[in-house]
Amino acid sequence: MPIKGIKTMDSLVIAGRKFNSRLMVGTGKFSSNQAMQSAMEASGCEIVTVALRRVDINSPQDSMLQHINRERYLLLPNTSGARDAVEAVRLARLARAAGCEPWIKLEVTPDPYYLLPDPIETLKAAIILVKEGFNVLPYIPADPVLARHLEEAGTVTVMPLGAPIGTNRGMRTRDLIRIIIEQANVPVVVDAGLGAPSHVAEAMELGADAVLVNTALADTMNPALMAEAFKKGVEAGRMAYLAGLGPQRDKAQASSPLTGFLREE
């Protein structure tokens, strides 16, 4: 039973918009649209990311948008594939022209091996897109100084990476993300590299406001079951953060009384 006056779960607010779920889901790499839909449903997410690509004019595919209920999910287009600010801005404008709300997950990843975000081009693009009225959610290296610059530029979140995209390696940047959380005045969304419910729980325990996962759900035998596990991981981590974790100690501290033993002291 929730105790009156004690907050057990709370809403996430981004750019003045309220969300009940703190788990965002990417729609890439699912084996089928049905697998994607069942994962979205089980995750309880309210924000889903999509990408923009050229149509293959030799074999046009059905639009994946028909498989996403736009009244239920906020569509968050990304600028994946952009190698510099100019390409990212172009993709963001195309997404808006395609009828999306002006929300954009800004990604600039010129490095094809680790897909690490380019901090300079990301900041340049953010400044332009904020001026054009976009709500900008930038994917960034876990760099507290950059996070500050982006926040000052007017981005509505910062999205530091836990580990490189698709690696499932967890909170490798934990100590830096902790600093970003400590300093940020906008929601901190840990994006990329989170591969297990324990990883998202760890991010949320640290005080992250939300997480974004894709590969971890898509690249499994049972995306819906995994999505439910991630949902629980996010909720567990958030509750623990709100409750306040106990301090860590070097030496043991007894949980049972240290008096009244069955011997003479």
Partner 1 sequence: MNLQVNGKNYQSDTDLTLGQLFKQLDLSPERVVIELNQKILQTTDNLDTELREGDQLEIIQFVGGG
Question: Judged by CB under 8 A, which of 51, 176, 179, 196 binds partner 1?
Answer: 51
Q: Which residue stretch of 62-70, 144-152, 175-183, 237-245 sits at the interface with partner 1 (rule: CB under 8 A)? A: 62-70
Question: Judged by CB under 8 A, which of 14, 50, 136, 181 binds partner 1?
Answer: 50
Determine, following the binding rule CB under 8 A, whether residue 52 of this chain makes contact with partner 1.
yes
In the bound complex, what is the minimum distance in angstroms from residue 145's beta carbon to partner 1? 25
Determine, following the binding rule CB under 8 A, whether residue 243 of this chain makes contact with partner 1.
no
Nearer to partner 1, 89 or 153 (CB): 89
Question: On the CB side of 252, how many CA atoms lie within 13 Å of its CA?
Answer: 4
Nearer to partner 1, 153 or 170 (CB): 170
Which tokens belong to 77? 């287009």
Nearer to partner 1, 104 or 153 (CB): 104
Determine, following the binding rule CB under 8 A, whether residue 13 of this chain makes contact with partner 1.
no
Question: Judged by CB under 8 A, which of 64, 116, 186, 240 binds partner 1?
Answer: 64
Tell me phi and psi for residue 88, to 5 degrees.
Answer: -65, -45
Query: How far, in whole angstroms, is CA 38 from its chain's centroid?
Result: 19
- Tokens 């709100």 locate to 242
Catalytic residue among 4, 18, 29, 105: 105
Distance set, CA 37 to CA 30, 70, 72, 73, 246 (Å): 9, 12, 12, 11, 38
Determine, following the binding rule CB under 8 A, whether residue 112 of this chain makes contact with partner 1.
no
Task: List beta partners, residue 212.
Answer: 24, 191
Return the amino acid letter for 245.
L
Question: Judged by CB under 8 A, which of 1, 6, 97, 262 binds partner 1?
Answer: 97
Return the amino acid letter for 144.
P
Q: Which residue stretch of 4-12, 87-95, 177-185, 224-232 sits at the interface with partner 1 (rule: CB under 8 A)? A: 87-95
Which tokens belong to 209? 């406001």
Would residue 105 show up in a list of annotated catalytic residues for this protein?
A: yes
Q: Are 217 and 25 in contact (CB under 8 A)?
A: yes
Closest to 211 in 3D by CA, of 18, 14, 77, 21: 21
Nearer to partner 1, 127 or 194 (CB): 194
The length of the chain is 265
Q: How many residues bind partner 1 (CB under 8 A)?
A: 33
Nearer to partner 1, 56 or 264 (CB): 56
In the bound complex, what is the minimum distance in angstroms from residue 89's beta carbon to partner 1? 11
Distance set, CA 55 to CA 59, 74, 155 (Å): 8, 23, 30
Tell me phi and psi for residue 149, to 5 degrees.
Answer: -60, -40
Q: What residues make contact with partner 1 under the rule CB under 8 A?
A: 26-30, 36, 49-55, 57, 60-61, 63-65, 77-78, 80, 93-95, 97-98, 165-166, 192, 212, 214-215
Residues tagged active-site: 105
